[in-house]
Amino acid sequence: MKYFAYGSNMLTERLQDRVCSAKNPRPLALRGHRLRFHKKSSDCSGKCNIVETACDGDVVHGVLYEVEDAQMSILDAFEGVGHGYRRDEITVSLDGTTMTASVYVAEKNAIDDALMPYCWYYDLVLAGAEQQRLPGDYVAGLRAIPFTQDPKPNRKTRFEALEALRKYEESKKTA
């Protein structure tokens, strides 16, 4: 199955910690959408969401992965399907080929424009954008997003994020 990641799952180490079958990451631009950090998380921070604008000038850069069908239910649980996100199907074009991909989109009742991401989540998104070599102007736009410190530094999800970031930094040293 094709899966379009646009937030923290762009970082291969993060996604593979969740679903080991994730492979063949390919950068992809999704036109007619904007990235927002306004999806309410159970940890009271803002997570990534895509918003359809129907304007071709709006674009969300992300990564198209292949994930085994049997592991999508595992990813659904990590992404909070039924608890703020839903899994949708989108049509994408890659190298002139049109295909269907899964994507996670926030439910309307799970959106709060006042939210900001915690720094560890924000760092995952930036590391994924760097790793996947997304366009420089897009990465610069990500760097302009405000973030905040996590008031609970011993949060399990923070430690998981830091471990994925550590793995990524190690992989850069050996590359």
124: which DSSP letter? H
11: which DSSP letter? S
Domain segments of the chain as ranges: 2-174
Chain Cα centroid distance, residue 21: 17
Report pTM: 0.95
Q: Does domain 2-174 have CATH number 3.10.490.10?
A: yes
Select from 170, 124, 139 the least CA-distant residue to 10.
124
Q: 53 near 31, Cβ under 8 Å?
A: no
pLDDT along the chain (175 residues), means of 10: 97 96 96 97 97 94 97 96 96 88 97 98 98 97 97 96 96 85
Distance CA 22, CA 24 (A): 7
